[in-house]
Amino acid sequence: MRLLRSTAVIAVALVGWELVCRLAHVSPAILPPPTQVARKWAEYLTSGELPRDAFATVARVAVGFAIGAGLALPLGLWMGAMSKVYEVFNPVVQILRPIPPIAFIPLAILWFGLGNPPAFFLIALGAFFPVLMNSIAGVRNVDAIYVRAAQNLGASPATLFRRVLLPGAMPSILAGMRVGIGVAFICVIVAEMIAVNNGLGYRILEAREYFWSDKILAGMISIGVIGLAIDTGMALLNQRLLRWHRGLENA
DSSP letters spanning 135-201: HHHHHHTS-HHHHHHHHHTT--HHHHIIIIIHHHHHHHHHHHHHHHHHHHHHHHHHHHHHT-SSSHH
Whether the predicted pLDDT of 248 surpasses 50: no
Query: Across all residues in the chain, what is the average pLDDT?
Result: 87
Specify whether the CB–CB gap between 61 and 185 falls below 8 A. yes
Q: Which of 74, 67, 205 shows the shortest CA–CA distance to 123?
A: 67
118-127 in b/e form (b: 16+ CB < 10 A) is bbbbbbbbbb
What pLDDT is attached to residue 159?
A: 84
Question: pTM score, two decimals?
Answer: 0.83
Does 195 or 134 have the greater pLDDT score?
134
- Of 41 and 167, the structure prediction assigns the larger pLDDT to 41
Domains of the chain (ranges; CATH) run: 32-241 (1.10.3720.10)
CA distance 133 to 127: 11
Predicted confidence at residue 113, as pLDDT, reads: 86
Query: Residue 117 in contact with residue 189, Cβ under 8 Å?
Result: no
Alpha-carbon gap, residue 249 to 156, rounded angstroms: 33
Chain segment 188-215, per-residue pLDDT in tens: 888 888 888 888 999 999 888 888 898 9
d(CA 8, CA 237) in angstroms, rounded, equals 26
CA torsion angle for 230, 190, 89, 171 (degrees, to 10)? -10
pLDDT value of residue 68: 94
pLDDT of the residue at 246: 58
pLDDT at 158: 81
pLDDT at 234 over 50: yes
Residue 244's pLDDT band (cuts 50, 70, 90): low
Is residue 202 a contact partner of residue 193, using CB atoms and an 8 Å limit?
yes
